[in-house]
A and B are shown apart, each in its own frame.
Chain A
């Protein structure tokens, strides 16, 4: 049936300008994908950063952070994506954003917690000795010193959300995954190229986000902290599984 191999089909599909500009084409889907992902990461940050930093500041809840990471690892994305629209959130984008935000929370939380925990106690003592209150220590000493960790968590969470957002297509939630799902719907002989092209676009986007945020992470990390932090963040990532 097929005259060309899937890669050629994919190139042909990508080469058709209408596949880019049509309603529901690549550009539409890309916009949806980025919008959903950005909203989910933002929501995750709003929830996870204050809690993680506060737990780190108070020095409690380390086991809670690990528990949350392990639990979310066990929850299938598809379960949340299908369950949330049937709750008070209703259909459309909000349940998708919330579902993705749930998976953004563990890396954000773990890194915020580790970031504040791993600050040299002497810096904290010095701030206390200078007469800063608990909140001032958190805001003026711990927050700035934790920025590299926050950036690392942001990167991990963002890449993961962008990757997971592809699954929104299972519930017709939009995004680039929609292209893959539509391809599978067409069947292999017709849709093979489209499946491959969609997969390529999703993977490319995830890698791009990873690369861009790696640069951002480097820029916001003060020079003396760069090497030590890289090692520490990797440890934190191992501890949480960061998936």
Chain B
């Protein structure tokens, strides 16, 4: 409960050390790679599932409630519990367990924001498309989805940032990317340099991916540039 004087400012345990980074660059890079790959895989799968779900909810109104409720329930389940549900079946040392938990967790943010984006498509644009003879699919790909892109990108950005943070939970089964660094550092006699390196890289990775997605979103929607304040 109280202060542990022994741990305070012990000279041999700085919060950051270049030496640690240089000596362990292989481990750090491997962790960063695993982290980035897990995030990318999770986001690709989640997008491939969530955007079609949002389209289904957009087309068939009665399904909107159930789809949002289901992804909401998945989102309410704590990440650790999701991992606990998946791991006994997929394997406790299999990175697939982490991947599945990450995908389930990212669904809600993408579905909700994509649906919000689709619902913001102006009715006039939809009517005009109909009048021009677009069918359901043509309208979806030429009108609805492009106009909903800002919402979809918002969802992807939120989901990516939270996924990067969540990957660390996988450290429990040794597949947490940078989370492994953090947890190993903690278990390894509170090695501060290792903990902080992992944590900082994690935040940096999240911010970099967020920035990249934001830029991609801007490039893909040149028409909205002036509209966005």
Complex Cα spacing A93 to B76, Å:
24
Select B77's contact among A76, A92, A203, beta carbons within 8 Å: A203
* Residue A28 at the chain B interface, CB threshold 8 Å: no
Complex Cα spacing A162 to B182, Å:
22
Q: B210 — which chain A residues lie within 8 A by C-beta? A: 70, 74
* Residue B47 at the chain A interface, CB threshold 8 Å: no
Q: How many A-B residue pairs have CB under 8 A?
A: 163
Please tell me if the beta carbons of A167 and B158 are within 8 angstroms of each other in the complex. Answer: no
Please tell me if the beta carbons of B81 and A199 are within 8 angstroms of each other in the complex. Answer: yes
A25-61 interface code vs B (CB 8 A; 1 in, 0 out): 0000000000000000000000000000000000000
How many whole Å from B173's CB to the nearest CB in chain A? 6
* Interface residues of B, Cβ cutoff 8 Å to A: 1-4, 7-8, 73, 75-85, 87-89, 91-92, 109, 112-113, 116, 158, 161-162, 164-169, 171-173, 176, 178-179, 182-183, 185-186, 190, 192, 195-196, 198-199, 202-203, 206-207, 210
* Residue A192 at the chain B interface, CB threshold 8 Å: yes
Residue in chain B with minimal CB distance to A90: B3
Please tell me if the beta carbons of B87 and A76 are within 8 angstroms of each other in the complex. Answer: no
Complex Cα spacing A30 to B71, Å:
26
Complex Cα spacing A177 to B82, Å:
12
How many whole Å from A171's CB to the nearest CB in chain B? 6
A82-B81 CB under 8 A given contacts A76-B202, A90-B2, A184-B87: no
Q: A92 — which chain B residues lie within 8 A by C-beta? A: 1-2
Please tell me if the beta carbons of B192 and A206 are within 8 angstroms of each other in the complex. Answer: no
Residue in chain B with minimal CB distance to A170: B183
Complex Cα spacing A82 to B190, Å:
8
* Interface size classification for chain A: 35 or more
Please tell me if the beta carbons of B78 and A238 are within 8 angstroms of each other in the complex. Answer: no
Please tell me if the beta carbons of A166 and B78 are within 8 angstroms of each other in the complex. Answer: yes
Select A196's contact among B77, B85, B166, B196, beta carbons within 8 Å: B85
Please tell me if the beta carbons of B165 and A77 are within 8 angstroms of each other in the complex. Answer: yes
Residue in chain B with minimal CB distance to A82: B186
A83-B195 CB under 8 A given contacts A78-B183, A192-B88, A196-B84: yes
Q: A199 — which chain B residues lie within 8 A by C-beta? A: 80-85
Grouping DSSP codes into helix (H, G, I), strand (E, B) and loop, the B interface class, with mixed when no group exceeds half, is helix
Q: B165 — which chain A residues lie within 8 A by C-beta? A: 73-77
A73-B182 CB under 8 A given contacts A79-B168, A184-B87: no
Residue in chain A with minimal CB distance to B7: A86
Please tell me if the beta carbons of B113 and A238 are within 8 angstroms of each other in the complex. Answer: yes
What are 20 A-to-B residue pairs whose CB atoms are below 8 Å?
A74-B164, A74-B202, A75-B202, A76-B182, A78-B179, A78-B182, A159-B76, A170-B172, A180-B172, A192-B88, A195-B87, A198-B81, A199-B85, A200-B84, A202-B80, A206-B76, A206-B78, A206-B81, A210-B76, A241-B158
Please tell me if the beta carbons of A195 and B179 are within 8 angstroms of each other in the complex. Answer: no
* Most chain A C-beta atoms within 10 Å of own C-beta, residue among B4, B75, B91, B172: B172
Q: A198 — which chain B residues lie within 8 A by C-beta? A: 81, 84
Please tell me if the beta carbons of A74 and B1 are within 8 angstroms of each other in the complex. Answer: no
* Residue A91 at the chain B interface, CB threshold 8 Å: yes
